[in-house]
Amino acid sequence: MKLHNIIIDTDPGIDDALAIGLALYSPKINVKLITTVHGNVSLEKTTYNACVLREFFNVDTPIAVGESKPLLRGQEGCLAHGISGMDGYMFNAPEKKVLAIPAVEAIRELLVNSEVPIKLVAMGPLTNIAILIQTYPEIEENIDELVIMGGSLVGGNITEHAEFNFWADPHAAKLVMDSGIRKTVVGLDVTSHALVTDKELLAGKNKASGMFKKIFNYYDDGNLIEGVWMHDSCTIALLCEKDIFTFEDKTVDIVVSGASEGAMIEKEDGALISYAVAIDSDKFKSWVVSVLKRLP
């Protein structure tokens, strides 16, 4: 069984919480580091949420604090995740500390010193990764693969044209997409079909299942009866069970200004990515349940 060593760059966020839990308890994933970034809510809140999740899941994965605002524009959050980003459950206050060094330095240090290939898994705006590439351009050769939840070729979820993560920092998205790193991207084309209901969430029959049901009641992307969109969990699913998805090579560009700001468009001379174009929704649900049962 192939083990993927990964860094999770995230802005938790309700669906991020499930993705983090699935990553931490999948037998095919080894989470080496979690880094936080602005996005669904403020950096202060995303960092707090990452810390409470670490203790809820009873792990010691290091957490490093990332960027609080986009490269060139003002920060705007996403109302889909409520005020705290994870409303609905009373987590214990975290006791473990974050790393003393910022996210970009923590990522670089891990990549440079690792004896095994490391994949970066981006579940939020790409600000941290863009700054990493800008500051240390040579680091690209140390990144085995960049797995991104972001973008859409079928219309947006924050504007008519743009998906939230790319819209939240379009300049960072363009810089990262234009890099030479091998990139696999899951966008709204498939994540809008990655639906999970309360039936699947409760199938784990554990404390985590109960927590997820409570916080997903506060999630604005769908409902637990018909299904909620598990955008970020698709990044972990594709590493564990890639045949759940169908991929095509695409050449794309990111719009950084105007009415379509943050949109991902196909462009003949654009950046080459492997892009998910279809998902087997039933297989995705089955995979989620299989890992949920491993959680505390």
**Which residues does the annotation mark as catalytic?**
231
Q: Is the peptide bond before 13 cis (omega within 30 degrees of 0)?
A: yes
Assigned token pair, 6: 């990964």
CA pair distance 228, 193, nearest whole angstrom = 9
What is the secondary structure of the chain as a DSSP string?
---EEEEEEE---HHHHHHHHHHHH-TTEEEEEEEE-SSSS-HHHHHHHHHHHHHHTT----EEE--SS-SSS-----GGGTTTSSTTS-PPPP-SPPPSS-HHHHHHHHHHH-SS-EEEEE-S-SHHHHHHHHH-GGGGGGEEEEEEE---SS--SSSSS--HHHHHSHHHHHHHHTSSS-EEEE-HHHHTT-EE-HHHHHTT-SHHHHHHHHHHTT-SSEETTTEEE-TTHHHHHHHH-GGGEEEEEEEEEE--SSTTTT-EEE-TTSEEEEEEEEE-HHHHHHHHHHHHTT--
